[in-house]
Amino acid sequence: MTDDIVDPDKTDTNSEEENFADLFESYMTEQENINVGDKIRAEIIAVGDKNIFIHIGAKTDGIVDKAELLDDQNALTVKVGDFIDLYVVSVKEGEIRLSRSISGAGGERLLQDAFRNRIPVEGKVTESCKGGFRVSIMKKIAFCPISQMDTKYVENPDEYVGATFDFLISKFEEKGRNIVVSRRELLKEQQEAAKKEFFKTAAAGDIVDALVTTIKPYGVFVELVPGLEGLIHISELAWSRVGHPDEVASVNDRITAKILEIDPEKGKISLSARQAAADPWDTVQERFKSGDKTSGKVTRCADFGAFVEIAPGIEGLVHISEMSYLKRVVRAEDVVSPGDTIPVTIKDVDPIYRRISLSMKDAEGDPWMGIEKKYAKGQVCSGTIEKKEAFGYFVTLEPGVVGLLPKSKINSAPNAAEIDRLKANDAITVKVEETDPGSRKITLGVEGGGDDWKKFAPANEGPAAGAMGNLGEKLRSALGSKK
Taking only the tens place, the pLDDT of each residue in 143-194 is: 999 999 998 889 899 999 999 999 999 999 877 788 999 999 889 988 888 8
Its pTM stands at 0.53
> Which fold does the domain 280-364 belong to in CATH?
OB fold (Dihydrolipoamide Acetyltransferase, E2P) (2.40.50)
Is 417 a residue whose pLDDT tops 50? yes
Of residues 121 and 133, the one with the higher pLDDT is 133
- DSSP secondary-structure letter at 443? E
Is 460 a residue whose pLDDT tops 80? no
3-state class (DSSP) for residue 468: helix
Among candidates 479, 478, 457, which has minimal Cα distance to 468? 457
Band of residue 255 on the pLDDT scale cut at 50, 70, 90: very high
Which numeric CATH code is attached to 120-188? Answer: 2.40.50.140
- Supply the pLDDT for residue 222: 95
The segment(s) of the chain belonging to CATH 2.40.50.140 are 36-100, 120-188, 202-276, 280-364, 371-468
Whether domain 36-100 has CATH 2.40.50.140: the reply is: yes
Residue pair 58/96 in contact by the 8 Å Cβ criterion: yes
Tell me the per-residue pLDDT of 353-380, one tens digit each, with 9 for 90 and over: 999 999 998 887 778 777 888 888 888 9
- One-character DSSP codes across 335-368: T--TT-EEEEEEEEEETTTTEEEEESHHHH--TT
Give the percent of the chain with pLDDT over 70. 83
Q: What is the overall mean pLDDT for the chain?
A: 82
CATH H superfamily, domain 202-276: Nucleic acid-binding proteins (2.40.50.140)
Residue pair 252/269 in contact by the 8 Å Cβ criterion: no
Residue pair 311/280 in contact by the 8 Å Cβ criterion: yes
Residue at 145: amino acid letter: P
CATH entry, 371-468, from 1.10.1200.10, 3.40.50.1360, 2.40.50.140, 3.30.70.20: 2.40.50.140
Residue pair 228/267 in contact by the 8 Å Cβ criterion: yes
- Supply the pLDDT for residue 478: 52
Residue at 424: amino acid letter: A
Beta bridge partners of 298: 308
- DSSP secondary-structure letter at 70? B
Residue at 4: amino acid letter: D
Phi, psi of 436 (to 5 degrees): -125, 90
Distance CA(152)–CA(300), nearest Å, equals: 40
Is 43 a residue whose pLDDT tops 50? yes
